[in-house]
Structure 1
Amino acid sequence: MTAVQGTTVDIPTEDGVADAYLVHPGDERPRPAVLFFQDAFGLRPHLRSMADRLAEAGYTVLLPNVFYRHGRVPVVELPEFIDPAEDPDIWRRIGPVMQSLTPDLAMRDAGAWLRFLADSPPAADGPVAVTGYCMGARLALLTAGTHPQRVAAVAGFHGGQLATENPDSPHLVAEHITAEAYFGHADRDSSLPPEQIRRLEDALTAAGVRHRCEVYPGARHGYTQADTPAYDREADERHWAALLDLLERTL
């Protein structure tokens, strides 16, 4: 297993300074870069461990605190094991923070994350991959459509609200995407009903995007998050296999 080096870095943005986690293999070789977008629960130990696993596979990974406008990590105090059933107040604390990150603000920030990677010695020159979880899948999709010249691969897992009827729905950027895309949908996910799955698939197909969209049977929204009750080991390992295969092909 490759030894990795992880550290907290500060990234200047148009609206301030964001803290982020940067991790890469421990040697001095620049590696292909992966931009990793968090879920609503934020940058925390479990997500750092996921970023570490990507770095162990040979990538330089940037995991930004997309809620930096509300403070440094932890933006919202959370227990080690996050169970909304045991903490009904959790969405009252997180909801306003999540909703304040509009698509416009998120994409303004995406430019900062990509500029940081372009200037980062551990990151190899060339295009990057983007992956995201839950709300992060929306951010990944939007980034691939907003910065097509920089993104060679985009992945999203148990994403919600990916293809709504709203004028700013993420699937509407499909026509601009040049990356190869993979989406692993949760079967039991009220935030991405079947009509949205079809709408996303249709948009990617119409735009000529190389893609694969799969529904993981029986998986719940959040199936990759081992620090929540939604975790599904089988679905999680399927996600890792799909993600690493995509990265190997495209980077």
Structure 2
Amino acid sequence: MKGRSIQVPSADGSFAAYLAVSVDGRGPGIVLCQEIFGVNAAMRAVADHLAEEGYTVLVPDLFWRQQAGVELGYGQEDFARALSLYQGFDENLGVADIGASLACLRGLPECSGAGLGVVGYCLGGKLAYLAACRLPEVACAVAYYGVGIEKALGELEGLRGRLVVHIPELDDFCPPPARDAIRTALASCPKTEVHVYPGVGHAFARPAGDHYHKPSALLAHERSIAALRRVLGPDYDLSALWEEHIRHEFDTRNVPATMATMVDQPYVNHIPTMTGGVGSAELSRFYRYHFIHNNPADMRLTPVSRTVGASQIVDEFIMSFTHDREIDWLLPGVKPTGKYVEIPMLGVVKFRGPKLYHEHIYWDQASVLVQIGLLDPAGLPVAGVETAYKLLDESLPSNTLMPSWPGSAGKPITA
């Protein structure tokens, strides 16, 4: 737990809330609404994650009127207790408590910006939706698998800000008719998004749960952050942050400076060779002994394109070098051949707030092996340096590896 507990005043008394402060010290404010299991370790972890993204997050104890300080797990006994609390919960009072939490959050010195957001899961997903519709101070709301939203679609008349709704395809609490009703209703509302995640069930975004589905959770998080950034900020110059990281990797060749551009527990994965590292200690070791000081002196990157999103960059570039040493991360175990190599590469670079979180780097290893003479391309659907040339000059011939290509010349083209 990285945050602290504070008290939120309301018309009916005060209640506790977990506060996670932005990695920047101040950030746009978000009220995070709990699942039916209370403000437990999983919810605090979500708040800490959002704080890493640059937000100051308040997680109110929404069960305080029934029982203060509820923190339940996910076993059968705890689930029964959570269900009982849910059944006795007053949604209207819950929205009022969210309003009090927003007012408290706005008054904190750690909260910046004019707009406020609400994010919720399960019970909290429904409450985030209701808060967006009822509370004018909510500039952006994100609802993860909110239970019962289809029963409150008339509330959309009050929606003023942006709303994002994440729905699992196999959510037993939101069967297809309910899902279709939500999608239909929001289709006519500006500034709304509905995303359905195929093949996953309720609680797919809870890392501590049995139903966690990492690809869907990552995609949902990316969409959530994109909406929050668009409305609330903060606005990070991801391109400049990435350039600083690259500078220390290839120019200054400084391991501590490279690590300083990253989160506490980053990871790097060079996909074709599965080299890199997970966590600060392993990645520092990788950079020190197998990457930063292991690259040829003439290695250079030629940018081709860059796409900058809300929290990630996709970089397309040509990497060129002379294979004058054993390059552990690119050609592990291969002795230097002296060959000059040019390869197209693609990097997917993810950030958390102002720090780099991960790198996924892709390239065609067959092209590298052809260029250094370890793979004979004859009779194989692979190419060497031509892949780099073709990327830089689209006028070069296409389909040269397809034996059937000449046979289609002059044939009629039909739909």
Which TM-score applies when normalising by structure 2?
A: 0.53
Task: Output the CA distance in 1 between the equivalents of 2:129 and 2:96.
Answer: 14
Task: Output the CA distance in 1 between the equivalents of 2:24 and 2:122.
Answer: 32
Match of 2:166 among 162, 166, 184: 184
The aligned counterpart of 1:173 is 155
- Confirm or deny that 1:11 pairs with 2:17: no
> How far 1:162 moved relative to its partner?
1.0
Deviations 1:103-129, CA, capped at 9 Å, x for gaps = 221122122111101211111141111
The aligned counterpart of 1:151 is 138
Does the CA contact (< 8 Å) of 1:37 and 1:139 recur in 2?
Answer: yes
SS in structure 1 at match of 2:32: strand
- Confirm or deny that 1:193 pairs with 2:169: no
Task: Output the CA distance in 2 between the equivalents of 1:26 and 1:241.
Answer: 18
Does the CA contact (< 8 Å) of 2:34 and 2:59 recur in 1?
Answer: yes
Aligned alpha-carbon RMSD (Å): 1.8
> How far 1:62 moved relative to its partner?
0.7
> How far 1:96 moved relative to its partner?
2.6
Task: Output the CA distance in 2 between the equivalents of 1:140 and 1:105.
Answer: 13
Match of 2:43 among 47, 61, 77: 47
The aligned counterpart of 2:112 is 124
> How far 1:225 moved relative to its partner?
1.3
Deviations 1:125-158, CA, capped at 9 Å, x for gaps = 411111111111100000011112x111111112
> How far 1:189 moved relative to its partner?
0.8
The aligned counterpart of 2:368 is none
Task: Output the CA distance in 2 between the equivalents of 1:135 and 1:104.
Answer: 13
Name the aligned partner's letter for residue 108 of structure 1.
A
- Confirm or deny that 1:140 pairs with 2:128: yes
Match of 1:67 among 50, 63, 66: 63
Match of 2:197 among 209, 216, 232: 216
Name the aligned partner's letter for residue 38 of structure 1.
Q
Task: Output the CA distance in 2 between the equivalents of 1:16 and 1:97.
Answer: 20
Does the CA contact (< 8 Å) of 1:35 and 1:63 recur in 2?
Answer: yes
> How far 1:216 moved relative to its partner?
0.4
> How far 1:246 moved relative to its partner?
0.9
The aligned counterpart of 1:109 is 97
> Equivalent residues in 2 for 1:228-247 (5 A)?
228-247=209-228
Q: Which has the larger radius of gyration?
A: 2
> How far 1:34 moved relative to its partner?
0.9
Match of 1:21 among 18, 21, 28: 18
SS in structure 1 at match of 2:5: strand
Task: Output the CA distance in 2 between the equivalents of 1:24 and 1:196.
Answer: 36
Does the CA contact (< 8 Å) of 2:23 and 2:55 recur in 1?
Answer: no
SS in structure 2 at match of 1:66: coil
Task: Output the CA distance in 2 between the equivalents of 1:237 and 1:6.
Answer: 23
Name the aligned partner's letter for residue 143 of structure 2.
G
Task: Output the CA distance in 2 between the equivalents of 1:196 and 1:210.
Answer: 21
> How far 1:70 moved relative to its partner?
2.6
Task: Output the CA distance in 1 between the equivalents of 2:230 and 2:131.
Answer: 20
Does the CA contact (< 8 Å) of 2:23 and 2:54 recur in 1?
Answer: no
> How far 1:57 moved relative to its partner?
0.9
Task: Output the CA distance in 2 between the equivalents of 1:194 and 1:210.
Answer: 23
Task: Output the CA distance in 2 between the equivalents of 1:92 and 1:221.
Answer: 17
Cα 1:26/1:202, change in 2 over 3 Å: closer
> How far 1:12 moved relative to its partner?
1.6
Task: Output the CA distance in 1 between the equivalents of 2:120 and 2:92.
Answer: 17
Unaligned runs of 5+ in 2: 233-415
